Chain A
Amino acid sequence: MRLTPSTKRSRSKLPFTRGESHLPFTRGESHLPFTRGESHLPFTWGVPALLWQVIFFYIPLAFITLSGFIKISELGAFDGFTLKNFTLFFTPTYLKVTLASLLMALTNALICFAIAFPLAYYIAFTGRKYKNSLLFFLIVPFWTNFLLHVYAWFYVLEKHGFINTLLMKLGLIAEPLNMLNSLFAIMIMMVYYYLPFMVLPIYSSLERFNETLLEASYDLGGNFFTTFRKIMLPLTSRGIRSGFFLVLIPSFGEFAIPELMGGDKKMFVGTVISQYILGEGTGSLGAAFTLLSGLILLIVVVGLNFFLTSILKPRMQNG
Chain B
Amino acid sequence: MRNIKLEDLSKSIHNQVIIPKVDLVIPGGKFFALLGPSGCGKTTLLRLIAGLEQSDGGKIYLGDDDITRKSIDQRPINMVFQNYALFPHYNVFENIAYSLRIKKIPKEIITQKVYKLLEAFHLESHIYKLPSQLSGGQQQRVALARALINEPDVLLLDEPLAALDFKLREKMLLELIDWQDELETTFIYVTHDQLEALTVADQMAIMNHHGEIEQIGTPKEIYEFPVSSFVARFVGTTNTWHGKLRDIDTNPSIETPELGQFKIYIPKKKTWMEEGYDAVMSLRPEKIFISKKEMKDFDNHLTGTVESIVYHGRSTQYNVILKNGEKIQVFEQNEEHFPQEDIDYDDPVNLYWQRKSVVLLEK
Contacts and interface: CB of A to CB of B under 8 A. Distances in A.
B87 A231 contact: yes
Contacts of A213: 85, 87-88
Contacts of B89: 27-30, 234-235, 313
B356 to A, nearest CB: 47
Contacts, number: 84
Nearest to B74: A221
From A213, A219, A223, A226, residue with most partner B Cβ within 10 Å: A219
A235 B98 CA distance: 16
B316 to A, nearest CB: 38
Contacts of A28: 88-89
A319 B93 contact: yes
Given A210-B85, A213-B85, A226-B102, A219 B78 contact: yes
Contact of A215 (B85, B90, B127, B150): B85
Contacts of A313: 89
A319 B126 CA distance: 12
A67 interface: no
Nearest to A219: B79
A316 B97 contact: yes
Nearest to B156: A219
Interface residues of B, number: 36
A221 B81 contact: no
B38 interface: no
Interface string A223-256: 1001000110011000000000000000000000
A219 B97 contact: no
B211 to A, nearest CB: 21
Contacts of B72: 218-219
B91 to A, nearest CB: 7
A220 B101 CA distance: 10
B99 to A, nearest CB: 4
A316 B150 CA distance: 19
Given A19-B132, A235-B88, A235-B89, A215 B52 contact: yes
A319 B108 CA distance: 11
Interface in A14-45: 19-22, 27-30
Contacts of A316: 90, 94, 97, 101
B102 A221 contact: yes
A218 B97 CA distance: 14
Nearest to B110: A318
A175 B141 CA distance: 69
Contacts of A226: 102
Nearest to B50: A219
A219 B52 contact: yes
B351 to A, nearest CB: 48
Nearest to B79: A219
A215 B89 CA distance: 16
Contacts of B52: 215, 218-219
B102 A216 contact: no
Nearest to B128: A319
Contacts of B97: 316, 319
Interface in B67-103: 72-73, 78-79, 81-83, 85-91, 93-94, 97-99, 101-103
Nearest to A225: B102
A222 interface: yes
B146 interface: yes
B88 A30 contact: yes
A220 B94 contact: no
Nearest to A222: B102
B133 interface: yes
A28 B90 CA distance: 8
A210 B83 CA distance: 10
Interface string A298-319: 0000000000000001001011
A220 B133 contact: no
A218 B73 contact: yes
B39 to A, nearest CB: 18
A213 B127 CA distance: 20
A318 B111 CA distance: 9
B107 interface: yes
B130 interface: yes
A74 B77 CA distance: 83
A217 interface: yes
A12 interface: no
A221 B132 contact: no
B95 to A, nearest CB: 9
Contacts of B102: 220-222, 226, 230
From B99, B102, B128, residue with most partner A Cβ within 10 Å: B102
A77 B23 CA distance: 95
Contacts of B128: 319
B99 A220 contact: yes
A7 interface: no
Interface string B119-143: 0000000011010110000000000
B73 A221 contact: yes
Interface of B: 50-52, 72-73, 78-79, 81-83, 85-91, 93-94, 97-99, 101-103, 107, 110-111, 127-128, 130, 132-133, 146-147, 150
Would you list the 6 A-B pairs with minimal beta carbon distance, nearest first? A220-B99, A216-B85, A28-B89, A30-B88, A212-B85, A319-B93
20 contacts: A27-B89, A27-B130, A30-B89, A30-B132, A212-B81, A213-B88, A215-B85, A217-B98, A218-B52, A218-B73, A219-B51, A219-B52, A219-B78, A220-B98, A220-B150, A221-B99, A221-B102, A222-B73, A318-B111, A319-B127
Given A216-B86, A219-B52, A316-B101, 17 more contacts: A20-B132, A21-B132, A22-B133, A30-B88, A30-B132, A215-B81, A216-B79, A217-B98, A218-B52, A221-B103, A222-B99, A231-B87, A235-B88, A235-B89, A319-B91, A319-B93, A319-B111
